[in-house]
Amino acid sequence: MSHTLLAPSVLAADFANLQRDIEMINNSDADWFHLDVMDGLFVPNISYGMPVIKSIAKHAKKPLDVHLMIVDPDRYIKDFADLGANILSVHYEACNHLHRTLQAIKNEGMQAGVAINPHTNVILLEDVINDIDLVCLMSVNPGFGGQSFIEHTYKKVEQLKKIIKANGAQTKIEVDGGVTDKNARQLVDAGADVLVAGSYVFGASNPPKIITDLKNILK
Ligand code: DX5
Ligand code: ZN
């Protein structure tokens, strides 16, 4: 039995009913809140920032998994720690000194995550794998919810798992983008530890049931 975690992406929530949707996740079988921060520069979209996360943190009773899709994320590490982020992921492609950035995240008491775009080879993380708590493998091009899952991701999960094992690291593998009941099982079998699901959860007529069903697939 696996212990795969499920992190609904709040990007797909109804922002006019945010507290309702946060409580739904609190009361569901989901494990984390996945929070997508986009700056309109690293990705071609702007999502939400500090004030919204501050409000979410007030109500959220599960860990906050913050995914920064912003250039030069070092500027805001302390701010996200102060807001209550538990896991902070920066993009490999947005950091000039990734090793330093990872230490800065840990020094603020958070778990350090690295997200990589679909075109980025997992091998590029090998030299820092022991410093990474979570790798967020993007299974769509970051910037938007509701896109189709890129099939090549299964292979990347397997390759990354091998690197983690070979280095005796404890790094978790998260898969983010286009996750549904159609690919969840295969992702777990490939080695995924955390699945993010946005539109599949919030687009459903009964989100808590979809979360329970998805968690059952992950068992
Ligand atoms: C994409 C975001 C994802 C997104 C997932 O840039 O990082 O977290 O919210 O949404 P779905 O599950 O709809 O692809
Ligand atoms: Zn994300």
Mean pLDDT for back-to-back runs of 10 residues, the chain (219 residues): 89 98 98 98 98 98 98 98 98 98 98 98 98 99 98 98 98 98 98 98 98 95
The pLDDT, as a whole number, for residue 147 is: 98
Number of Cβ within a 10 Å radius of residue 104: 19
Number of Cβ within a 10 Å radius of residue 131: 18
Distance CA(176)–CA(213), nearest Å, equals 18
- Tell me the three state secondary structure of residue 173: strand
Among 140, 179, 182, 201, say which to mutate for ligand 1: greatest number of ligand atoms within 8 Å of CB. Answer: 140
- Cβ neighbours of residue 51 under 8 Å, at least 6 residues apart? none
ipTM of model: 0.99
Question: Is 14 annotated as catalytic?
Answer: no
Given CATH 3.30.565.10, say whether it is the number of domain 5-218.
Answer: no
SS (H, E, C) 60-85: CCCCEEEEEECCCHHHHHHHHHHHCC
72 is in an annotated binding site: no
- Tell me the three state secondary structure of residue 197: strand
- Tokens representing residue 193 in the block: 């530890």
Among 36, 39, 141, say which to mutate for ligand 1: greatest number of ligand atoms within 8 Å of CB. Answer: 36
- Tokens representing residue 88 in the block: 């902070």
The C-alpha angle 67, 70, 75, rounded to 5 degrees, equals 100
Strands, DSSP E only, in the chain? 5-8, 33-38, 64-69, 87-91, 111-116, 134-138, 172-176, 194-197
Ion ligand 2, residues whose Cβ is below 5 A away = 36, 67, 176
Is the C-beta atom of 113 inside 6 A of ligand 1? Answer: no
The pLDDT, as a whole number, for residue 2 is: 65
The pLDDT, as a whole number, for residue 79 is: 98
- Tokens representing residue 41 in the block: 């520069």
